[in-house]
Amino acid sequence: MDYETLRDFQEYVGYGKNIAFVHFHKAIEIIYVEKGTLKCTVGQKSYEIKEGELLFVPPIVSHSIDVNNTAISQINIIAPVFSDFYLKVLSKQDIVDPIIRDKAVVDDIVTHLRKIDKDTSQLFKNAIYQYCVVEYLEHVEKKEVSTRRDILVFYNVMNYISDHYSEDLTIGSLAKQFNYSKCYFSGLFKRNIKTSFKKYLNTLRIQKSLEYLKVNTVANVAYMVGYKSAQAYYSNFYQYMHCTPSEYLSKVSDMEIYGEGVKHNE
C-alpha cells in the first residue's frame, strides 16, 4: 500500500492509458474514460467505467487502475483543500454508486476540467474544481447514514498524523486523540488504510525526509522526522527506498544534472 504524499501537494493531470497500483492520498481523484472500458478498484469494490462515464475517488480511500487496461482516460487529482469541501458538502451521506453516467453531466464536468492549462490562474482553477465537486455531488447516487463515517474519521486522522508525524506518535496516543480504544482503533486503521500504523508512520516519515536530506546531515534529518536515532532512520530509509540516503542523494544529483527532473521535487 502506497501513501502518495506527492498527491497531497500537487495537482496532477494524466491523459492516455493510465494505470495505477493500489495507493491512497488525501486528494480527490477524478477518472474520466474517453475510449474503451477502464477496470478499477475503490476501497473494497471493483468497477468498470465505460466510455463517456466518470468517477470520483474520495480522499483517503485506497484505489487502483488495472495495469492491463487499454482504455484512454483522463485522471485529474485536485488539491486536498477540496477534500475538506467535498466531505462538508457530503455531510451525513455516503455515495452508493460513484459513477456518473449522465452524458450531459459528464460532458459538463470534463469540459470545465479541460479549461485548465499551465497558464490558468489559481483563482480560476479553484472555481472550476469547486464547481465540479458540487456538480458531481448533485448528481451522484447517495444515501443517508446515521453513524460516524470512516472516510471522514480517517481524513481527520491523516491530517493529524501529517501535522504531528515528527512527534512521539503511537497507535495508543492516536486512538486516545480520536476517542477510540487502542484495540478497536488498531483494527479500524488496518481495515481502512490496509497497513499497520507503524508501517504507515515510517513510510510517511521517510517520504517527508527526502527534501530535508538535501541540506541536512542524516543524523539531523532522523530527529527532524521523528526518529530517536540515526540508525533507526537509516534502516527504515533502506527498507522503503531500497538504497542508502547517500545513494539517494547521488541519484537525485545525477537526475538534476541531466535535466530529467525528480518527481517529488516538481
- Distance from C-alpha of 35 to C-alpha of 50, rounded to nearest angstrom: 8
Mean pLDDT of the chain: 86
- Please tell me which residue, 48 or 149, carries the higher pLDDT value: 48
Q: What average pLDDT score do residues 32-40 get?
A: 96
Does residue 109 carry a pLDDT above 70? yes
**This prediction's pTM:** 0.72
* Residues in Cβ contact with 233 at an 8 Å cutoff, skipping those fewer than 6 apart: 205, 209, 218, 221, 222, 225, 227
Amino acid letter, residue 121: S
pLDDT per residue as tens digits for the range 113-150: 999 887 889 899 999 999 999 999 999 998 887 666 67
Does residue 89 carry a pLDDT above 70? yes
Does residue 257 carry a pLDDT above 60? no
